[in-house]
Structures are given as structure tokens and as C-alpha cells.
Structure 1
Amino acid sequence: MKRLILALILVAAPVWAVQPDEILDDPALEARAREISKNLRCLVCRNENIDDSNAELARDLRLLVRERLVAGDSNEEAVAYIVDRYGEYVLLNPTARGANWMLWAAGPIMLIAGLGLGLVYLRRRGSAPEQKVEALSDEEKARLAEIMDD
């Protein structure tokens, strides 16, 4: 029973990440804040969005997003403000501009290169002359029998 309760707590933990004192009174602003938060990376947890993270820095970022929205920023302006302060790494889905295009292109390029190398290998292997395998000499057979008996 204790394990079941612990498992439920661990599964439900991200639900409790946004504290009640963080929630905005305006439901429309809160919905916008949640949408923005789901696309921002927790810099402590790395691959978790700030909406699901319990880290202090994630809380600070959630409050900063809400503060910017209350100040009248659009979603794009709020995200741009946070990216300016923390860098593009804070985005869970970084843009494909600048130096990031190399990261976006690296996967497909490596796949194509790997497929090309595999194809070249298979073609060379198929066209290589077949090697003759000679039978063991009497001396080799005797040595093998001696090794196997030990």
C-alpha cells in the first residue's frame, strides 16, 4: 500500500509544481502563462518544462512570465524577454536560425551519410571475389586434435 501511495505521489508531483500563490486571477492570462511555461525549459531539470518543475529557478521563471503578461506583454514578447535573459537554451523547441540550423540538420545529414556508407559497403562486399577456403593439412588436424583433448 505504501508503494502505491509513493507511486501516485511521484506521478502526481508535476501537478503540484505551480503553487496556488503563482496562479493569476485572470483565467485568460493564466492560460497564456501556462501555454508559455510549457514551452520553456527548466534550467535545473533540463528536459522538463517550467510548468512541471518544482525547482526554485522554474518557480522564478513562472513568476517572471506572469509578471510580463500582467505588464501587458504579448506571448512572443514575454518569451523574447526570457530568452534575452537566459539564452535560447531556455526554449524546449529552439529556433532553426543562426548556429542552431546545424543542430537541426545534423541528424538528417548523419542518417543520409550512414545510409550511403552502408550502401557502399554492401556493394563492395557483394562484388568482392569469393575467397577459397582450404582444408586443414594433416599437421593442422593433428594440432587441433591435440588442443581439443587437453
Structure 2
Amino acid sequence: MEKTAIKNVFVEGAISPEFIARSIAKHQSKTGIGAHDIFLGQVRADEIGGKTVTAIDYSAYEQMANRVFHEIKETAFRDFELSCLHIYHSIGRVNTGEICLFVFVSSPHRKPVFQALQQVVEEIKAKAPVFGKECFEDDSYQWKVNK
């Protein structure tokens, strides 16, 4: 497989439904694809210590994080028969109910997309140096712990 360039995965603020729809629509002309799978991470209104999360403010050392995302993608292409794999992650403030992570996997067949998507999302959670401050309604915050 030919090495690909490191791309910037970060989107300022929430990832809009329109952005997601445009991404999907761009793949209609790729007629060798037979299956897609999508993961959408959404900010939850968790209650922590009697306070409700209203947003998460994401930050990252973007150059390092983009390299990690690139390595995750390269591993998925090595491990599975994929046509496309796109990762987008929010940077900055994302309110509850909004999308903060969009992973889109395509393949000629369905099984590889299911397997690849799960691997990619788990590796993002375990390895990507992206940090979130959970913001509460009283303007206090705490650093988020990935679960």
C-alpha cells in the first residue's frame, strides 16, 4: 500500500449534519464500494456531582494528534479491505446533543466495514491525544475521562 499524506482531522466546533450528508453523498460516484459504516460521537448531558454537562471544550496538540489519527487509519487499511476511511474530530466547544466525532468507513463488502469501524473508534479513544473539558451550567468545568 502506498503511504498517504497526514491530513488534518479537526473541525472547528460541532460536526454538522450537513457536513456528514455531504461526505456520504461524495461517495455515490465510487461504484466499487458496496458497504459503508458510520460512527457518530455525540456530547452527552451527563450529570456529574449534581451538575449537568452542557458542552465539551476539546483541545489537542494538533500536529501530534493528526499523526496518531493517520497511524490509526494506516493500520485499518493494512488490517482490512477498505476503499475509504475518513475521521473528523471536533476542536473547540461542542454543546450537548451535537456531534464531536465522525468516522466513515467504506469497503466493497460489509464485514470489513463493521470490523474496521470498531477497531478505529476504540483506537481513537485509547490513543488519540485529544482532551475534553466538560463544561457545566454554572460555568465550572472538569477534564473528561474517556470511558
Give the TM-score, by structure 2 length: 0.27
Larger relative contact order, structure 1 or 2 (CA cutoff 8 Å, min sep 6):
2
Higher helix share: 1
Q: Which structure has the larger Rg? A: 1
TM-score by length of 1: 0.26
